[in-house]
Structure 1
Amino acid sequence: MHRTPHSSPHLRVMSVLGLLAALLLPLGMTFAPGALAAPTADPVRVMPLGDSITGSPGCWRAVLWNRLVDSGYKDIDFVGTLPPQGCGQAHDGDNEGHGGELVTNVADQNLLPGRLASTRPDIVVMHFGTNDVWSSIAPDRILAAYTKLVAQMRASNPDMRILVAQLIPMNPSSCAGCAQRVVDFNARIPGWARATGTDRSPVTVVDQWTGFSTAADTYDGVHPNASGDAKIAARWFPALSAVLDAGVPQDPGDPGDPGGDPAACTARFRAVSSWQGGYQGEVTVTNTSASAVSGWTATVVPANGARLDQLWNGSLTTAANGTATVRNAAWNGTLAPGASATFGFVATAPATAGNPAATVTCTGTTPAA
C-alpha cells in the first residue's frame, strides 16, 4: 500500500533504479520503455464490519473514505456484500454492516466465512456488539463470538489485520441499563485483544467511546448523526492509516495470482422489491476465472430469518436452517470468462426483518480436460 505524501518501498526501488540508469546511460546502455516501471499491487481491501451503525447508512464510512483519499491513500478498496446506502457524498460504499445483527448470532450461525470468501479482505474494521449489549448478552459470550470471528478471518487470510472498536456510547430511551453495559463491555476489550492478537495478525483496539456524546452525536441515543459520523471517522483514521503505512501482505490466493487456486466465480445479491413479509431478490453469478465454466452453484444465506420460497433460472435446495443452494439451469450453466448469469427468487421474511439482505457465494465447474 502506498500513500502519495510518503516514500514507499516501490518509490525507494525506483530511486535506486533511477540512479543506476544515470550511471549507465553515459556508457551507452539504455533501458526498454517501461523497464523502470514500479511494480503494481492489488488495492488493499478493507471490510467495514458491524451492524446498522456501520451499514445503514453508516456515513462515517464515507467520511473516512474521503479522508483517506484526500490524504493520499489511493490503492484502497472498501469491500462487503452490501452496497452503498446513500450519505450524499461520493465514496466506496461496499460494506458488511447488517442492520439489527448480533455478533453472537453471526458467530453461532457461521455467517462470516461466506462473506469473507466473497470479498477477501486484507483488513477488517469492526464496530460490532451494540445489539448484543442492548439484548443483555453477557460480555463473556460477546467476546467468545469475537474470538470465533477472528479465527474465521485468519482462516480466510492468515495475515489479516483487525481493528476492533470500543463501542460508541448508547443511551436509548427504552434501555435504562444500556449506557453502563457499554462501559462494562468496553472495559473488557483491551484485555481480550492482547490475548487474541498475534505478530502475524495483530488486533488493534480503537477507542470510539471517549469523547462521544449520545446527546450531541446521535439522533436517537444509538445511531450517529453527522457530528457522530465525523468523530467515528476521526478515530478510525489514524489506526487504519498506521496499518496501511506499515504495509499489508497481499493474499497469495487471490484470483489470477500465478500458481494460485483461482475462484471460478463471484456472486452478488440485489433486492428488486420488498413488501411486508417478503421481498424479491436477484443474484448475479459472474465467471471471474480465465477459463470457461461448464456449471455453477450459488449459496444464498438470507438475513434476519428470511427464507427462499420461489426461484427461477436455476434449481433450488433449501436446508433446515434456511441456507439455499442454487444450481444452474440447463441453459445458463456455461459461462465464458467474464460472462454472467442471473437467477431470481421470492423470499418470505418476518415482519420485523428490516431491509432485505443476504450473503451469497458461488463455485464453478470447469469443463473436463
Structure 2
Amino acid sequence: MKLSRLSVVAAALGTALATVLATPPGAQAAAGDGTPTDPSIRFVGRWDTRNSSLYVPGWAGAYFTTGFTGTTVKLKQRDTIDLYYSIDGGPDIYLQNVRGTVNLTPKPLPAGNHTLRVSYRVVAGSYHGDAVFQGLVLDQGARTLPAQPARGMVEFVGDSITVGTTTSKNALTAYGWLVGEQLGLDHTQVAQGGACLVTTTDGCVGLDRRFVKVSAADGAVDHDFSRYQADVVVINLGTNDVGHGVSTTQFQNSYVGLLRTIRSKYPKAAILALQTFRGRYVPQTQAAVQTVNNAGDHNVFFVGTDGWVPPDGLSDSVHPNDAGHRAIAAKLAPIVAEHLPPRPSPTPTPSPTPSTSPSSTPTPSASPSATPSGPSIGCAVRYTVTNQWPGGFQSEVRVTNTGSTTLSPWTLRWTFADGQQIGQGWNGTFAQAGATVTVNGPDWGPALAPGASATVGFTATWNGANGVPTSYTLNDAGCRIA
C-alpha cells in the first residue's frame, strides 16, 4: 500500500516531534545556564546522572559546587528536602522542608562573582527528603562560572560513624568531611548507617558488594567510576558485622575482596584501612592488608586508631560527637596528606636577560604611582565562634591567600582583646604570648598557594567577655576581615 505525499510529510513531522519530546530537557545544555548538565557545575561524590534534567546524589557526603555572577541564586528542587548551602565560602546554612524554587539569597549579594556549594542533609546515609537537583535560577543575564578545582579527591567508606550520625550536621560534621575541608580536597562519604563490610543473610547492607553502586538502595545501578578518581580511599568498617554473626574468616576474606575491588576501580589510589574505633576485627583487618601487600599491592596500609577518640568524644557508646570527630580528623588529616600524590611544581618564569649592547635604551624607573608587577602578599580572614559555654569556647579561623605568591611556610597571627587563653589547637602549631596568638602551618600543609584557604581551630577559655579579634597578619602582611 502506497502512502500519499501528504501522509509521508505528516509521518515525518510526527517522527520529528516525537524525537523532540523524547529529548530530555537540558540535554543540549550550554556552559553557564545552570541546568544539571551545565559543565560549570561540579558534582562531587556519587550522583545518578542518567536523567539529564535531574541529578540525584547517592551515598552521603555528595555535594555540588559552582561559581555564578549576579546578586541572587535560587535552587530548583522537585519535592521537599532539607539541605545545607554555603555562599562565598561562608558558614553552611541549614534549610528544612523546602521545595520548588528555593531562594538561597533572601538578602541580595553585592554584584560580582560568587561561589555556591549545596549538600543535601542525610540521616544515617538516607537523604532526608527528595534529594533531586533540577538546576539553578540566576539573575537575568547572569551565568554560572566554572567551579575551582580541588587539589585531589579523598573517599571515605564506612557506616554510621563515617556518616556522622549523632553529630550536629551529620555528614558535614563527620571526620571525613572535616579532613577533606582541612586539606582542600574534594571528598565524599560512601557510607550508610548500620552498614556492614559483609553482605549478610539477615539484610545488613554490605559494602563488599555495594561499594560499586551509585547508592545503597536495592537495585541501584553501578557507579560510573570515570566521573572521578580518588587519590586516597579511607575504609572504616567492621563495627556492625559482629551483631550480624559475621565470622572472623568471612570478615577477612570479604575485606580482601573489597580491597581488590577498590584497587580495580582506583588503580593509583592509596587505600587506608582504619582500625575500628571499638577495636573489632583488628587482626583480620591487618591480615587482609597483609594479603594484598604480599600479592604486590604496596599502596594499601593499616592505620591504628588507639586513643583517637577522647573520653568526652562520644555521644553514646559507639558514635563520636562533634568533638570526637574533630579529634579523629586531627589525627587522620596528616596521614591522608602524606599519601596524596605530589603536586607538580610550578614552572618558574625566566626573568628577561638585560641587554649589554651600547645601543640599548635604558628602561626608565617606575614612577611612584606605578603598580608594582612583582608578587604580592594579601589575605582575608574569617573568625567564627562555633561553640561557647561558661568559661570556654571553640573557634575556627579561615585564612585565604589573596596575594599572588605561594606562602611556604605560612604564619597567621592575631591578638585577643579580652584575655582569652588557648588550650588546644588543630590544623596548625599554636603558640600564645600574652594576648598574641601565632599559628604556623602544619608540617603536612606548609604551603598556601594564591587563592587557597586554610582553616585552623582551637578551644580556649574566656572570662567576662569574649570579643572577636579585629586584626590579623599573614606572614606579617595585614589581612582584611571577610
TM-score range, shorter chain: 0.3 to 0.5
Please state which structure has a larger fraction of its residues in helix. 1
Please state which structure has a larger fraction of its residues in strand. 2
Question: What is the TM-score of this pair, normalised by structure 1?
Answer: 0.42
Question: What is the TM-score of this pair, normalised by structure 2?
Answer: 0.33
Of structures 1 and 2, the one with the larger relative CO (CA 8 A, separation 6+) is 1
